[in-house]
C-alpha cells in the first residue's frame, strides 16, 4: 500500500547526495539508521515513469527473487503516492565501466577475475528463470571488497514457459545488443545475454567496444554482420573465446553452462566457476533474529514470523543488513539504544526539508526527530520566527532542530536549539524561500551549498550516525548544552563549518583513486582555470562550487543529455593536482570521449 509521504523513508534512513542516475531513477547514498549500514536509495518519480512503471515493478519482483553474492541485494521497497524508493546494497567502488576507462583496459588476468563473477551472476540469474537483457559495464558495480554486483533488472524478462521460450521485445543498449534482438526477431533471452557478455568481455580486454558508431543504422549493420577487429594485444585464447561468444547465429554461440568450465575461464583455476548462491533466499540466521528480538523486546518466535514474511519493509531491511554485517565479521548489533536520537532526519535537498537554511544570519538546519522517551521536551524550544509565522504544525510531534554555528563565524557566534515539525510542507517551502532571500542578502549561496554537500560534511554526519559520543571531544565554539547529551553537542559540532574546510581555502586533499586523473601540475588554480576555459568550447554548461564543476550537456531541445562532475583536488602521494571525475547521467562511452577531450585539450 502506498504511503502518503516520504516520512516512511525518513523514519528509517538518512539520505545523502546523489551517486548516480539512470534512465528512470536517481540514486542517493543513504544510511539505515537502526543498523548504521550504508545503502543506495534508488528514487523513482511515478509521474516521470509513465508507461515505464511496469518495468519498475518487474525490476522489484526480480530483485526480490534474487539473492546472490554477485547480484546487488534489494533490502526495502517504499512506495508513496508519488515516488518509489528501492533501498539497495551500496557499492562504493562505482561502475565497472569507470574502472575500465580509468585503466584504459584490463589485463587478461584481471579480466578473468571479473569475468568469473559475471559468469557466476548470469548463471544464477538464468537458473532462476530470468534473462537480464541489459548487461553492460555500467550495470556492474564494484563493492568495497572489489567484487562485482549486477544491478538494473528494469529490462529483465522471465518468460512464462521458462528461459527457452522466445521473447520479442527489443531492449537494452544497442552496442551490447545481440543481432537477433536488433533485427526484431524472436530470441532466447539467455542467448542474447551471452552475446552481451562477449561485448562486455571485449570492452574489458580492449577498453573500447567491438561495434561502435554514432549512427545507429551503421551500428546495427556492424552488429548484424558480427565483424570486429582483434587488437594485437589479445591472446589467441581470448580471440577464440570472444569469437565463440559473439557468434551471429545464436545457436552456434556458447551457453553460460559451457562458459563455467571453458579453458580460457579455467586458466589458473582448479574448479569451474561457482555459480550457486552463497546466500540463498529465505535463510533465517539465529544471531540476527536474537538481536532483533532483544532490541524490539519481542519474542524470537514472533521475530522469525515477521522476518519470514519477506515484505521488503523495515523488518526485511533490518534483518538483511544485520546479516550483511555478520558476513563481514562485524558485530551483529542494532543501534536501538541510541540515547538521544533514534530517528534522524538528514540533508535532503529534494525530498523534504533542505538541510541548511539561513535564518537571521545563522546557518541552521538538520532536523532531528526524536520519538524517544529519553528526549525530554525541555529541549524543544520555540521554533524560529520564520516557521512560527508560517503556521507550521510545530509541536505536533516531538522533535528537535539544531541551529548550527554560522559559516560566517563573526555574524553569529551563538548556537541555539529550537523545535520544529519537519513534516510541514508549507513551512519547508517558506523556509526555502527565506533561505534564498537570506542568501541573496548575505551572498552566502556558494558556501551554503558546499556545506550541504561537501564530502567532509557527509562523512562527519555519517560518523554521527554511529551515535558514539566522545565526551572528551573539544568543542569548536558555541555553547555546551549541559546534559543535552553530548550527542546533540556533537551534532552541532558536525554542522559547524570548519574554517579549514571553506571552499575558498583550497582544493580537497584526497588519495589516488581510479576515477582520478593525475596531472603533472602542482597549482590547482591553474588547472581549474584551464578546465574552465575549455568547457564552453566543448558546449558543456557548468556550475562552479569551489573546486568542483557540476557539468552538463544539453540536446538542441534543451534536454539534459549528460551530467557529470569534475573536481580539481590535490593528491597526497605524489603531491600533484588530480581531477576526480564522476558520471551522473548519460551514455558512458560518450562521457568517456568528452572527458578525455576536455582533459587533453586543457593540456594538463
Ligand atoms: P536506472 O534503472 O534508472 O537505469 P540504475 O539502477 O542503473 O538506474 O542506477 C543508476 C546509477 O546509479 C548506476 O549506474 C550507478 O552509478 C548508481 N547506482 C545504482 N545502484 C547503486 C548501488 N547499489 N550502489 C552504488 N551506486 C549505485
pLDDT, one tens digit per residue, over 322-378 is 999 999 999 999 985 443 333 333 333 333 332 222 222 222 233 333 333 223 222
Listed residues 417, 445, 473: the one ending a domain: 445
Return the C-alpha torsion angle 124, 127, 128, 133, nearest 10.
Answer: 70
Listed residues 401, 416, 445: the one ending a domain: 445
pTM of the model: 0.68
Domain co-membership, 512 together with 591 = yes
Q: Is position 383 within any domain? A: yes
Query: How far apart, in whole angstroms, are the C-alpha atoms of residue 230 and residue 208?
Result: 11
Domain co-membership, 438 together with 353 = yes
Instruction: Establish whether residue 88 lines the binding site of ligand 1, counting it when its CB lies within 6 angstroms of any ligand atom.
Output: yes
Question: How much is the pLDDT for 372?
Answer: 30
Domain co-membership, 440 together with 509 = no
**Ligand 1, atom 14, residue with closest C-alpha:** 138
Query: How far apart, in whole angstroms, are the C-alpha atoms of residue 507 and residue 509?
Result: 7
Listed residues 445, 460, 487: the one ending a domain: 445
- 243 or 460, greater pLDDT: 243
Instruction: Establish whether residue 27 lines the binding site of ligand 1, counting it when its CB lies within 6 angstroms of any ligand atom.
Output: yes
Q: Is position 454 within any domain? A: no
Closest to 27 (Cα-Cα) out of 122, 154, 156? 154
279 in Cβ contact with 68 (< 8 Å): yes
Question: How much is the pLDDT for 105?
Answer: 94
Q: Which of 242-246, 275-279, 481-485, 545-549 has the lowest mean pLDDT?
A: 481-485
387 in Cβ contact with 430 (< 8 Å): yes
Instruction: Establish whether residue 507 lines the binding site of ligand 1, counting it when its CB lies within 6 angstroms of any ligand atom.
Output: no
- 487 or 261, greater pLDDT: 261
Q: Please tell me the distance between residue 90's alpha carbon and the centre of ligand 1 in angstroms.
A: 10
pLDDT digits (tens, 9 = 90+) for 427-461: 333 334 434 443 443 333 332 222 222 233 332 22
The answer to whether residue 551 scores a pLDDT higher than 90 is yes
Atom of ligand 1 lying closest to residue 92 CA: 25
Number of separate domains in the chain: 2
Domain co-membership, 512 together with 441 = no
Mean pLDDT over each residue of the chain, to the nearest integer: 74
Q: Which of 182-196, 210-224, 328-342 has the lowest mean pLDDT?
A: 328-342
Q: Is position 168 within any domain? A: no
Question: CATH no. for residue 573?
Answer: 3.30.310.80
Question: How much is the pLDDT for 529?
Answer: 93
Q: Is position 191 within any domain? A: no
Catalytic residue numbers? 134
Question: How much is the pLDDT for 381?
Answer: 32
Q: Is position 222 within any domain? A: no
Q: What residues contact 596, with CB distance under 8 A and at least 6 apart?
A: none
Atom of ligand 1 lying closest to residue 584 CA: 16
Q: Please tell me the distance between residue 434's alpha carbon and the centre of ligand 1 in angstroms.
A: 34
Segments forming the whole domain that contains residue 536: 505-601
**Binding-site residue positions:** 42
Q: What's the distance, Cα to Cα, between the start and end of the chain in Å?
A: 54
**Binding-site residue positions for ATP:** 42
Question: How much is the pLDDT for 347?
Answer: 34
Instruction: Establish whether residue 135 lines the binding site of ligand 1, counting it when its CB lies within 6 angstroms of any ligand atom.
Output: no
Per cent of the chain over pLDDT 90 is 49
Query: Which of 84, 141, 153 has most ligand 1 atoms within 8 Å of its beta carbon, as the pocket-test mutant?
Result: 141
Q: Is position 575 within any domain? A: yes
Q: How far is CA 335 from CA 317, 318, 338, in A?
A: 14, 11, 6
Q: Is position 390 within any domain? A: yes
Amino acid at each position: 500500500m502506498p504511503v502518503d509521504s516520504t516520512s516512511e523513508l525518513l523514519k528509517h534512513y538518512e539520505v545523502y547526495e546523489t551517486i548516480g542516475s539512470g534512465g528512470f531513477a536517481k540514486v542517493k547514498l543513504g544510511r539505515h539508521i537502526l543498523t548504521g549500514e550504508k545503502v543506495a536509495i534508488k528514487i523513482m518519480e511515478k509521474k516521470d515513469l509513465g508507461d515505464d512503471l511496469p518495468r519498475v515493478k518487474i525490476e522489484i519482483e526480480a530483485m526480490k527473487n534474487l539473492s546472490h553474492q554477485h547480484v546487488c541485494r534489494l533490502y526495502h521497497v517504499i512506495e508513496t503516492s508519488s515516488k518509489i524508493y528501492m533501498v539497495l546494497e551500496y557499492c562504493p567502488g562505482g561502475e565497472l565501466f569507470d574502472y575500465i576507462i580509468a585503466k584504459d583496459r584490463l589485463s587478461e588476468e584481471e579480466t578473468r577475475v571479473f569475468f568469473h563473477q559475471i559468469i557466476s551472476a548470469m548463471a544464477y540469474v538464468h537458473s532462476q528463470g530470468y534473462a537480464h537483457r541489459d548487461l553492460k559495464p555500467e550495470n556492474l558495480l564494484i563493492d568495497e571488497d572489489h567484487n562485482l554486483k549486477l544491478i538494473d533488472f528494469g529490462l529483465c524478462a522471465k518468460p512464462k514457459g521458462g528461459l527457452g521460450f522466445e521473447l520479442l521485445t527489443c531492449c537494452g543498449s544497442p552496442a551490447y545488443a545481440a543481432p537477433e534482438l536488433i533485427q526484431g526477431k524472436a530470441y532466447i533471452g539467455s542467448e542474447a545475454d551471452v552475446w552481451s557478455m562477449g561485448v562486455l568481455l571485449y570492452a574489458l580486454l580492449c577498453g573500447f567496444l567491438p561495434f561502435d558508431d554514432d549512427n545507429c543504422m551503421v551500428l546495427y549493420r556492424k552488429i548484424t554482420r558480427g565483424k570486429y577487429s582483434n587488437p594485437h594485444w589479445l591472446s589467441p585464447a581470448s580471440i577464440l573465446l570472444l569469437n565463440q561468444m559473439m557468434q551471429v547465429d545464436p545457436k552456434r554461440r556458447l551457453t553460460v553452462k559451457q562458459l563455467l568450465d571453458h579453458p580460457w575461464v579455467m586458466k589458473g583455476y582448479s574448479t569451474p566457476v561457482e555459480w550457486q548462491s552463497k546466500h540463498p533466499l529465505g535463510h533465517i540466521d539465529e544471531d540476527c533474529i536474537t538481536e532483533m528480538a532483544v532490541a524490539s523486546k519481542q519474542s524470537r518466535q514472533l521475530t522469525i514470523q515477521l522476518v519470514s514474511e519477506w515484505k521488503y519493509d523495515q523488518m526485511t531491511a533490518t534483518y538483511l543488513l544485520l546479516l550483511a554485517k555478520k558476513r563481514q565479521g562485524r558485530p551483529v548489533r542494532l543501534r536501538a539504544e541510541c540515547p538521544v536520537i533514534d530517528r534522524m532526519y538528514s540533508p535532503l535537498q529534494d525530498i523534504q526539508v533542505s538541510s541548511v537554511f539561513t535564518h537571521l544570519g545563522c546557518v541552521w538546519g538538520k532536523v532531528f526527530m526524536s520519538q524517544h522517551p529519553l528526549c525530554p521536551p525541555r529541549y524543544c524550544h520555540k521554533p524560529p520566527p520564520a516557521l512560527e509565522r508560517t503556521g507550521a504544525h510545530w509541536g505536533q510531534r516531538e522533535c528537535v532542530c539544531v541551529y548550527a554555528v554560522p559559516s560566517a563565524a563573526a555574524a553569529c557566534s551563538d548556537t541555539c536549539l529550537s523545535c520544529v515539525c519537519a513534516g510541514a510542507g508549507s513551512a519547508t517551502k517558506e523556509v526555502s524561500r527565506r533561505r534564498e532571500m537570506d542568501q541573496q542578502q548575505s551572498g552566502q549561496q556558494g558556501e551554503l551549498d558546499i556545506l550541504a554537500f561537501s564530502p567532509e560534511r557527509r562523512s562527519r554526519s555519517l560518523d554521527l550516525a554511529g551515535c558514539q559520543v566522545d565526551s572528551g571531544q573539544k568543542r569548536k565554539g558555541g555553547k555546551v548544552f549541559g546534559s543535552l547529551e553530548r550527542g546533540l553537542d556533537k551534532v552541532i559540532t558536525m554542522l559547524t563549518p570548519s574554517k579549514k574546510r571553506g571552499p575558498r581555502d583550497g582544493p580537497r586533499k584526497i588519495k589516488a583513486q581510479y576515477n582520478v586523473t593525475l596531472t603533472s601540475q602542482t597549482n590547482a588554480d591553474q588547472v581549474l582555470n584551464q578546465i574552465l576555459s575549455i568547457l564552453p568550447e566543448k558546449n558543456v554548461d557548468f556550475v562552479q562550487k569551489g573546486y568542483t564543476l557540476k557539468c552538463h550537456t544539453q540536446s538542441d531541445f534543451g534536454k539534459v543529455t549528460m551530467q557529470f562532475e569534475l573536481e580539481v583536488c590535490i593528491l597526497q602521494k605524489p603531491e600533484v593536482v588530480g581531477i576526480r571525475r564522476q558520471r551522473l547521467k548519460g551514455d558512458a562511452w560518450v562521457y568517456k570521449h568528452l572527458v578525455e577531450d576536455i582533459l587533453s585539450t586543457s593540456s594538463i
